[in-house]
Structure 1
């Protein structure tokens, strides 16, 4: 493998591994979900705007008003997805929320069927059934990091976040002609403006360590993450992107076990495997379902489906 081939592979792998540590950073900050999402938008958005300015991408950029409105709508869905997902961590666990959240690609197909009239195959219905059976098993058997059974509210929030993320993915498909860095910048600025009033009720941490964790989330887990993904995603086969995207939930589970002492029961592990296997299972024709992302929970956008 040449350097030109290995570099995007390493970049995408690093991005997915970083994504798996987002939950740990969110919990370490000690901040409420809206404040965390605001900080991510503010810091990540500022750095992405600086990056785009340095690359000259704003020069001569005059998008139609319709594109801006669509991007803002996607930003609202994206930010809502973050708030719900971050809130779910405290009510369940990082590993449970992350794996349940990975029903998103199946939900995306369902939304496309309802709103875009796309046909849903029997294989998709079967995979969806397996995935949501896995969610039920997780809900009935999983325990949070404090050893208590996970709260149904935590799983419900992760599922709701997946729905919003799927909606943001559909919006992003309408903007595939827009440079993804610019789209991400617009959406993060939107999130900063929308979430700013929430600070009156859920303020930022008063401690220096808490603030530093949020700066890390915005700088590394948002701005750097986006640059890594957008630098590599167009240079990799869709199947490779889809397969390596599953580093995200795997790393999240490992971090949850090592950093927070989460212990998987065999039923919980079985439910997680069912969800991930259903989302990753090949479609008719032999190729794994492609990944379609928007600047989201970790933030990307790819040709067809998000994992």
Structure 2
């Protein structure tokens, strides 16, 4: 599944981040509603990751304890819920705006760790959180969509909700560091498939071939392949490198938004985006190296 040089983790992580930045375009081009998109991503990506894990001998009856399985399912609920909210936010704001606002989630994770794990929040983290909040406020007040009209605050609210849910998924993952990440992701995606299946009664999958192919692309390339690239590289890279290369994700999303959908950031919006990214993605030496992607 990974054709890249296994000894080049920088290239693998960069490719994964670049793929992340194009997810919004794939979602919009599919023409499907957010729950249907999240279901398709879970189904296709989950099946492929199960096959990948089985082929490598990682699936055994004793792979997960009952506690691990319950936590993995809980994390899966958070994960797919975050996808639904984020995908829904794209059409209400823009790909670039939603993606940048979504990047407040590392700071939310810090807050969860402080509240539930007793980890101390450094003054620098509090300052970064305030800067990110100011950036989101600037974006909310000044961002415009492709039609030239102000973005809907509902779109930004959904992106923040997605960030909170992803922070929850990451918080759960911190309790499962002993579980192979490919297996954990597979369990979470299977959970998403089961939970989201009933939503197809209300938000069905596309009936046209084009829409279905976009969803297959999302599940194969932007989920299964992307997760394998991330997990193959992140443990081999310094935290600072991971943080710096993570800028590729929102930058690609903004570029795609500008080139493909005509989004033109105002200067206050640009300042707000830079504030959020600088606050959320600054290198964090004391934090564990975990992928914080969709």
User: What TM-score range do you get, normalising by the shorter chain?
Assistant: over 0.9
Gaps of 5+ in 2: none
Change (3 A) 1:41 1:282: closer
| Structure-2 separation of matches of 1:165 and 1:199 | 23
- The correspondence of residues 97-112 of structure 1 with structure 2, limited to 5 A, is 97-112=98-113
| Structure-2 separation of matches of 1:171 and 1:61 | 20
Question: Which residue number in structure 2 is paired with residue 254 of structure 1?
Answer: 255
Change (3 A) 1:182 1:289: closer
Question: Which residue number in structure 1 is paired with residue 291 of structure 2?
Answer: 293
- Runs of 4+ deviating beyond 4 Å: 3-6, 287-291
- Displacement of 1:18 in angstroms is 0.5
| Structure-1 separation of matches of 2:229 and 2:62 | 23
Query: Is 1:25 equivalent to 2:26 in the alignment?
Result: yes
Change (3 A) 1:4 1:195: closer
Question: Which residue number in structure 2 is paired with residue 125 of structure 1?
Answer: 126
Deviation string 1:161-214 (CA, Å, 9 cap, x unpaired) is 100100110100110000001000000000000000000000001110000000
- The correspondence of residues 47-196 of structure 1 with structure 2, limited to 5 A, is 47-59=48-60, 61-196=62-197
Question: Which residue number in structure 1 is paired with residue 264 of structure 2?
Answer: 263
| Structure-2 separation of matches of 1:42 and 1:49 | 11
- For the residue of structure 2 that corresponds to 1:274, the secondary structure is helix
| Structure-1 separation of matches of 2:209 and 2:286 | 44
Deviation string 1:63-120 (CA, Å, 9 cap, x unpaired) is 2101000000000000100000000001000000000000111111111111222211
Question: Which residue number in structure 2 is paired with residue 301 of structure 1?
Answer: none
| Structure-2 separation of matches of 1:145 and 1:59 | 49
Deviation string 1:13-46 (CA, Å, 9 cap, x unpaired) is 1000000000000000000000000000000001
Q: What TM-score do you get using the length of structure 1 for normalisation? A: 0.91
How many residues end up aligned between the 2 structures? 291
Q: Is the 8 A contact 2:234 2:291 kept in 1?
A: no
- Displacement of 1:220 in angstroms is 0.3
Q: Is the 8 A contact 1:239 1:288 kept in 2?
A: no
Deviation string 1:217-248 (CA, Å, 9 cap, x unpaired) is 00000000011111111111111111111100
Q: What TM-score do you get using the length of structure 2 for normalisation? A: 0.95
Q: Is the 8 A contact 1:282 1:288 kept in 2?
A: no
- Displacement of 1:60 in angstroms is 5.2
Q: Is the 8 A contact 1:280 1:289 kept in 2?
A: no
- For the residue of structure 2 that corresponds to 1:87, the secondary structure is helix
Q: Is the 8 A contact 1:239 1:289 kept in 2?
A: no
| Structure-2 separation of matches of 1:5 and 1:208 | 35
| Structure-2 separation of matches of 1:291 and 1:142 | 32
Higher RCO (C-alpha 8 Å, min separation 6): 2
Q: What is the Cα-based RMSD across aligned positions, in Å? A: 1.7
